[in-house]
């Protein structure tokens, strides 16, 4: 199963204005992950103690619970590479969709970055192969997720809608991808409304 | 109390591509209102028999239950004027934000359209005056709602998120309006995820 999972503002942004290596998720963009960073589910995955054990925590833990490989866009990789450091939190194969060939990189803790220049379809295919029986997570950014949905590669879309208006930045959906979804589950907490959609495989 | 209420696709559109008098809510845009048209709550307000009596119906009924006046943008008015006919469904004063002065229009059933050329603030002010103890509904479109939020005129934002990707059209949030919200209530049905936010009065 291939699922996309991302945090989004009410106005549809997954990063704030001026994102990039020097400015992370952009102006105000880190706000989108507050719900996650606070949870014990997320902290445990990242080897950090403490955090809240609540519905947000359970949902944060679902992100990696049955995941065997990750696909991400070049922009997300470039932004994250520095902060993730020598022991990135993924601890599984990560396939980066890029136009620039690069040798694979192995990090401590089991994270490997493999650079795929053949587009999102090739990246998802490589990730499925690596994941075996486990799921593939398309982790972002907006462009990679939107492209994967547009190509009919995504079985499930999980959006964590954070009650904030960023007013600008990187949109999850820049337009051009259409189709019916089906609401599979919605869990609302004060920190975020966690929505899970299926039926994203057959865009119109 | 001033509230904004609108149906939006998962990709953030409140009308499809090519909207306008000749094409209503644009290509695929009517899909956004399917959840509402099916309900007895909405049908009763519009003098149509039948419909479903469920959570969607209760939420549709809330739209007008305590509403005393409506604010809408020129684009929504222009698109709706034809279809609404001689007896529009509002049955209360409606204030249209426009650049073009026009004499007020009174329709059967109690709907009056008054055209306000002084901007959204003037329109909301006139609507509050007309509504008295009752609430003011900012009914759309995206630009009018976004402007009202940007000016700090909205107490509550209600978004009915419909599980569809339109792929293009008119966005609710074109950017430029930022600030923290608070999630007040979320009701999820197969037809839509009904989200209510407060705290929209103090944009950053």
Q: Quote the tokens at residue B36.
A: 């509402």
Q: Quote the tokens at residue A121.
A: 């379809």
Q: What is the pLDDT of residues B175-184, one digit of tens each?
A: 899 999 999 9
d(CA A199, CA B12): 18
**At B203, is the secondary structure helix, strand, or coil?**
coil
Q: How many contiguous H segments (helices) and E segments (strands) does chain B have?
A: 6, 13
Q: What percent of chain B is helix, strand and coil (3-state, nearest 5)? A: 30, 30, 40
- The reported pLDDT for the residue numbered B72 is 97
Confidence of residue B44 (pLDDT cuts 50, 70, 90): confident
Cβ-nearest to B197 among A163, A177, A200: A163
- The reported pLDDT for the residue numbered B135 is 98
Q: A14 has which bridge partners? A: none
For residue B135, give how far its alpha carbon lies from the nearest alpha carbon of chain A (Å).
23
* Reported ipTM: 0.94
Contact B172 A11 (CB under 8 A): yes
CA atoms within 13 A on the CB side of A163: 23
- The reported pLDDT for the residue numbered B21 is 82
Percent of chain B past pLDDT 90, that is, above it, reads 81
Q: Which residues of A131-152 are buried (b: 16+ CB within 10 A; e: fewer)?
A: beeebbbbbbbbbbbbbbbbee
- The reported pLDDT for the residue numbered A20 is 82
Residue B14, pLDDT above cutoff 70: yes
| pLDDT: which is higher, B7 or B47 | B7
Q: What is the DSSP string of A114-140?
A: EEE-S-HHHHHHHHHHHHTTSEEEEEE
- Residue found under tokens 């399917």: B34
Residue B166, pLDDT above cutoff 50: yes
Consecutive sets of 10 residues in chain A, 204 residues long: mean pLDDT of each? 97 92 89 93 84 92 95 94 91 97 96 97 98 97 94 96 96 92 97 93 50
Q: What is the pLDDT of residues B92-117, one digit of tens each?
A: 999 999 999 999 999 999 999 999 99
Q: What is the pLDDT of residues B127-149, one digit of tens each?
A: 999 999 999 999 999 999 999 99
Residue numbers in B near A172 (CB within 8 A): 11
Confidence of residue B204 (pLDDT cuts 50, 70, 90): very low
Cβ-nearest to B173 among A11, A193, A204: A11
Q: How far is CA B139 from CA A13, A45, A146, B134, B169, in A?
A: 23, 44, 29, 15, 18
Residue numbers in B near A173 (CB within 8 A): 10-12, 165, 167
Residue numbers in B near A204 (CB within 8 A): 167
Q: Quote the tokens at residue A154.
A: 């995504």
Contact A188 B186 (CB under 8 A): yes
Confidence of residue B202 (pLDDT cuts 50, 70, 90): low
Rounded to the nearest 10 degrees, the angle between the axes of helix B120-131 and helix B142-150 is: 90
Contact B159 A10 (CB under 8 A): yes
Phi-psi category of B169—alpha, beta or left, where left has phi over 0 and alpha has psi -120 to 50?
left
- Name the maximum alpha-carbon separation found in chain A: 45
Q: What angle do CA A132, A133, A135 make, to 5 degrees?
A: 90
């Amino acid at each position: 199963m291939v699922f996309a999972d991302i945090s989004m503002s009410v106005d549809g942004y997954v990063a704030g204005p001026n994102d990039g290596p020097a400015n992370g998720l952009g102006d105000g963009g880190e706000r989108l992950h507050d719900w996650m960073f606070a949870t014990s589910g997320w902290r445990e995955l990242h080897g950090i103690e403490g955090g809240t054990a609540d519905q947000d925590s359970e949902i944060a833990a679902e992100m990696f619970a049955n995941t065997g490989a990750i696909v991400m866009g070049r922009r997300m990789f470039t932004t994250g590479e520095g902060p993730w450091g020598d022991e990135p939190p993924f601890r599984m194969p990560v396939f980066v969709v890029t136009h620039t060939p690069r040798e694979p990189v192995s990090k401590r803790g089991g994270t490997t970055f493999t650079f795929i220049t053949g587009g999102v379809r090739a990246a998802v295919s490589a990730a499925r192969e690596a994941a075996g029986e486990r799921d593939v997570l398309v982790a972002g950014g907006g462009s990679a997720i939107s492209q994967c949905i547009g190509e009919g590669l995504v079985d499930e879309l999980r959006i964590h809608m954070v009650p904030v208006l960023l007013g600008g930045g990187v949109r999850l959906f820049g337009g051009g991808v259409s189709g019916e979804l089906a609401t599979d589950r919605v869990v609302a907490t004060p920190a975020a409304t966690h929505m899970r959609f299926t039926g994203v495989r057959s865009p119109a």
